[in-house]
């Protein structure tokens, strides 16, 4: 039996390469919590989770004070049992963001360890459904950018062969959003996908109103139009528009995804591996979506999501927002607008120890 002997926890701060502003917030920094699980047979695996500027220390405290003591001495190969054990130890704080983020760092480390032990990549272990997936860009679509820069970013993405761009919406007036989207659509033509993302900014009535304006522009999806808790509002919106409603980055349990799918309130599932609690529940959400014939296009974390989205049959796109270059030696290669999942053992991320030291939070 391979026992967990030690678990190391650290946090690094990463500054975004570009200014990132949406309808609700600014992306100030990425607090990246890393967990390394060491076992009695001399192997180790590293996983991670993130926040966008707040809560990182709370995630670390939950891991070090509660999860680590609960996991030491247990068999690291029993990933499903260990996830359930973490849940049992934290019933008073689940379901919730901090707990899910803590679970994710540990669970991802256990999957990395599993792959290193077996010599298999995450993409293969999780299913190996696609050898590559198309990529769309978000980095050029932030809400604060003027129309000219939005258009330039969309043109660059199209020239690079990407499949589409995401444009943030939620300007004070519908006319402003419509003007910005129309300019991007005119610049890239009808064969290039344009997604929109409101970051939970609207009421149900306003989302329905804006969706009617987006429809003639051939929008690929309307992402996070409403607060994530508003299941009934999402269902009303989905029934009122032909634009697929994309939901998931702010849902924190498999059961909540089940509610959305059963209600017909989601057309694109955007499950986030960190916010759902790790790879173990991520795969459950993806397969639940498959049962409802709904595609999965995960949120952020492209370095990890490329392997997961490519592993499942209903994987659709990978979102291009680079964020780990400063602390890794590996990078994803995009060719002809598609990205190939890493085929190295584990989760496929080669961490740079010196860079981690440079960015570590004391």
Residues annotated as catalytic (active site), given as ranges? 168, 299
Nearest CA to 268 out of 303, 239, 284, 292 is that of 292
CA distance 200 to 27: 15
Nearest C-alpha neighbor of 107 from the set 46, 52, 53, 167: 46
Radius of gyration of the chain from its Cα atoms, rounded to whole angstroms:
20
User: Which run of H or of E encompasses 230?
Assistant: none
Computed from CA positions of residues 179, 162, 286, 288, in that sequence, does the dihedral angle turn out positive or negative? positive
Q: Could you give the residue ranges of the DSSP H alpha helices within 131-191?
A: 147-159, 174-188
Q: What is the Cβ-side half-sphere exposure of residue 57, based on CA atoms within 13 angstroms?
A: 3
Distance, CA of 185 to CA of 175 (rounded, Å): 15
Distances (CA, A) of 4 to 74, 131, 196: 6, 33, 44
CA 322, CA 332: separation in Å to the nearest integer? 9
- Sign of the alpha-carbon dihedral angle for 278, 280, 283, 289: negative
Strands 334-335 and 318-320: unpaired
| Alpha-carbon distances, residue 236 vs 206, 219, 261, 263 (angstroms) | 12, 18, 14, 10
Distance between CA atoms of residues 47 and 322, nearest Å = 17
Q: Which residue, among 272, 330, 276, 277, has the nearest Cα to 301 in the 3D structure? A: 272
């Amino acid at each position: 039996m391979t026992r967990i002997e030690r678990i190391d926890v650290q946090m690094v701060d990463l500054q975004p390469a570009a200014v990132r502003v949406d309808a609700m917030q600014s992306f100030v920094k990425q607090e990246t919590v890393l967990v390394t699980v060491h076992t009695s047979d001399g192997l180790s695996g590293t996983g991670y989770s993130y926040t966008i500027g707040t809560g990182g220390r709370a995630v670390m405290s939950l891991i070090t004070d509660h999860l680590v003591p609960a996991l030491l001495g247990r068999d690291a190969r029993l990933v499903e049992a260990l996830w359930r054990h973490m849940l049992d130890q934290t019933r008073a704080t689940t379901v919730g963001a901090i707990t899910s983020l803590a679970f994710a760092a540990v669970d991802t480390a256990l999957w990395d360890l599993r792959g290193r032990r077996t010599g298999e990549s995450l993409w293969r272990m999780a299913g190996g459904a696609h050898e590559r997936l198309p990529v769309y860009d978000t980095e050029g679509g932030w809400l604060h950018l003027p129309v000219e820069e939005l258009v330039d970013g969309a043109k660059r993405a199209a020239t690079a062969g990407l499949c589409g761009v995401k444009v943030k919406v939620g300007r004070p007036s519908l006319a402003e959003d419509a003007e910005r989207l129309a300019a991007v659509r005119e610049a890239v033509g009808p064969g290039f996908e344009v997604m929109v993302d409101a970051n939970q900014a609207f009421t149900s009535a306003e989302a329905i109103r804006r969706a009617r304006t987006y429809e003639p522009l051939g929008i690929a999806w309307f992402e996070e139009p409403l607060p994530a808790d508003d299941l009934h509002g999402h269902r009303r919106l989905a029934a009122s528009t032909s634009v697929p409603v994309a939901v998931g980055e702010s849902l924190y349990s498999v059961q909540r995804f089940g509610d959305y799918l059963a209600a017909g309130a989601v057309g694109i599932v955007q499950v986030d591996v960190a916010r759902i609690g790790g790879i173990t529940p991520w795969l459950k959400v993806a397969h639940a979506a498959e049962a409802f014939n709904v595609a999965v296009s995960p949120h952020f974390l492209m370095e990890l999501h490329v392997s997961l989205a490519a592993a499942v049959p209903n994987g659709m796109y990978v979102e291009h927002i680079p964020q780990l270059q400063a602390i890794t030696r590996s990078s994803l290669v995009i060719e002809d607008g598609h990205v190939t999942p890493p085929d190295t053992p584990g989760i496929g991320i080669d961490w740079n120890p010196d860079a981690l030291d440079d960015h570590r939070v004391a």
